[in-house]
Amino acid sequence: MTLRTDFETLKLAEVRPNVLLLTLNRPEVRNALNTKMGEELREIFVPLKFTPGSLRAIVITGAGDKAFCAGGDLKERHGMTDESWRLQHAIFEEAYYAVMDSSVPVIAAINGAAYAGGAELALACDFIYAARNARFALTEVSIGIMPGGGGTQNLPRAVGERRAKELILSAQPWTAEEAYAWGMVNKLCDPEVLLNDTLDAAERIAGNAPISVRQAKKSIHYGMQTDLATGLIFEVQAYDRMISTEDRREGIRAFNEKRKPNFQGR
């Protein structure tokens, strides 16, 4: 697929081969989510469920050094009618679900505060690298709403039901170190190397057979939603998809010829 680059709230750049760096680009408001950002995220991610094109990995981060994303833009939301609120939230839901459904692996690089919808966006990604000074919070119940971008589902799957209840119901923030200890964050990085470390991880993923990566991601994600026996059936069906691919043949040839494989995604 061909992505346009003239977005209002996002910056896009292919900074490594087949790796897209997506930067939430509203640093003047700590990259808060407004309607336009939701629309632009939706535009990018909805097609990626079925038409990833040449993309093999995506990194999401925030502009500046203060915040990944401070959550929903409450100034924009001030005075919204109930109907306007519902319509805006539907955009956010569609965008976040599309991130979760992306066939291309998505890694969050959390460079600062990830609060409310920002924490939910991070949790919607496949895994998270975070700066040591990053902080997280799901603060929605403190302003009369609740997490609605997957937070009540993704957080307990990452840290356990009891921990998630404590964090969501108290609306209290937690540190990157705590997130790492609980299994929500995969790696802690010094702020100055966070983005490079995350891009290195994305590049390693992008160097593998793209159909294999997509099928393995799908098998893990959907298998975790069901019982073990059903998950194993799904895994075998996902595996069978690769037997007839040129990439499977190329991988075996490259191994025997002691060279790096040249995967084409077919």
Is 246 an active-site residue? no
Catalytic residue of the set 43, 120, 192, 246: 120
Is 120 an active-site residue? yes
Catalytic residue of the set 93, 94, 140, 161: 140
- DSSP codes, 209-250: -HHHHHHHHHHHHHHTTS-HHHHHHHHHHHHHHHHT-HHHHH
**Within a 10 A sphere around the Cβ of 40, how many other Cβ atoms?**
22
Active site residues: 120, 140
